[in-house]
């Protein structure tokens, strides 16, 4: 099973029986481009782990424009954070950017097991840490850097997104227009 091996590779401290237990909490779901996994306003306890493909979380701003706030690719969680941690309805929509295979499980069941099982607790902490660090980096990008620097960081750290995600999603993720992104891409490529 491909997912079993990917979990084993990413979290080598998990014994095989614990991986099988984690897998028993969920199911595999296939999504096509544009399919919505969780819609803004929905209250849910389901969480997705991207096996293959790409998901994005986006909000709709006051102008009715979609603003991408998170991309999730292989072996990254795709979740509505406000639902899980605050018990609120999802504040963003989660949708497939590419044909995507998700492992979907009940997050509350997983969280419950983490309270009595040290290996589940470690996995829970690792997942939270990954999300927390990504959020801090994103906040720092928007408060300390200019758009061209944000693009360069994306290119350096997650350059594959530039090849895989549509320009309009990348531009909204970087906080700029698609036209500005095209100009930045041109400047950066000329300087290489």
pLDDT of residue 119: 92
Per-residue pLDDT, averaged over 109-131, amounts to: 90
Per-residue pLDDT, averaged over 69-73, amounts to: 93
pLDDT of residue 68: 94
Q: Is residue 7 part of a domain?
A: yes
Helix, strand, or coil (residue 19) = helix
Q: Is residue 145 part of a domain?
A: no
**How many other CB atoms are found less than 10 A from the CB of residue 94?**
26
pLDDT of residue 107: 86
pLDDT of residue 48: 92
Cα–Cα distance for residue pair 43/186, rounded to 1 Å: 42
Structural domain range at position 106: 2-113
pLDDT of residue 1: 58
Q: Is residue 141 part of a domain?
A: no
Alpha-helix runs per DSSP H in the chain:
2-10, 16-24, 81-86, 107-114, 118-144, 147-158, 160-164, 167-174, 178-190
Helix, strand, or coil (residue 188) = helix
Q: Is residue 131 part of a domain?
A: no
Report the CATH number at residue 101: 2.60.120.10
For 36-62, write each residue's pLDDT tens digit: 999 999 988 888 999 999 999 999 999
Q: Select the more confidently predicted residue: 151 or 135.
A: 151
Cα–Cα distance for residue pair 116/44, rounded to 1 Å: 23
pLDDT of residue 31: 98
Structure tokens at 62: 């006051």
pLDDT of residue 116: 94
CB neighbours of 60 closer than 8 A, spacing ≥ 6?
A: 40, 66, 67, 93
Cα–Cα distance for residue pair 67/163, rounded to 1 Å: 19
Per-residue pLDDT, averaged over 142-163, amounts to: 91
Cα–Cα distance for residue pair 61/85, rounded to 1 Å: 22
Q: Is residue 72 part of a domain?
A: yes
Per-residue pLDDT, averaged over 77-96, amounts to: 83
Cα–Cα distance for residue pair 29/104, rounded to 1 Å: 7
Nearest to 74 by CA among 58, 55, 50: 50
Residue 150's pLDDT band, with cuts at 50, 70 and 90, is very high
Q: Is residue 122 part of a domain?
A: no
In the chain, how many domains are there? 1
Q: What percentage of the chain has pLDDT greater than the value 70?
A: 98
Cα angle 179-181-183, degrees, rounded to a multiple of 5: 75
Q: Is residue 44 part of a domain?
A: yes
Per-residue pLDDT, averaged over 161-190, amounts to: 91
Q: Is residue 167 part of a domain?
A: no
Cα–Cα distance for residue pair 107/47, rounded to 1 Å: 6
């Amino acid at each position: 099973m491909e997912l079993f091996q990917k979990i084993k590779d990413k979290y080598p401290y998990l014994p095989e029986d614990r991986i099988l237990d984690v897998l028993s909490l969920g199911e595999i779901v296939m999504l096509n481009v544009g399919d919505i996994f969780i819609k803004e306003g929905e209250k849910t306890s389901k969480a997705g782990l991207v096996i293959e493909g790409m998901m994005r979380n986006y909000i709709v701003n006051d102008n009715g424009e979609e603003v991408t706030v998170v991309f999730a690719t292989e072996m990254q969680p795709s979740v509505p954070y406000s639902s899980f941690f605050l018990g609120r309805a999802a504040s963003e929509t989660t949708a497939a950017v590419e044909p995507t295979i998700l492992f979907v499980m009940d997050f509350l069941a997983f969280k419950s097991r983490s309270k009595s099982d040290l290996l589940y607790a470690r996995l829970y902490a690792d997942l939270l840490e990954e999300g927390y660090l990504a959020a801090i980096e994103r906040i720092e990008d928007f408060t300390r850097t200019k758009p061209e620097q944000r693009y360069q960081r994306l290119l350096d750290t997650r350059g594959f997104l530039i090849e895989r995600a549509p320009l309009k999603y990348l531009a909204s993720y970087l906080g700029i227009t698609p036209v500005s992104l095209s100009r930045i891409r041109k400047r950066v490529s000329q300087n290489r």
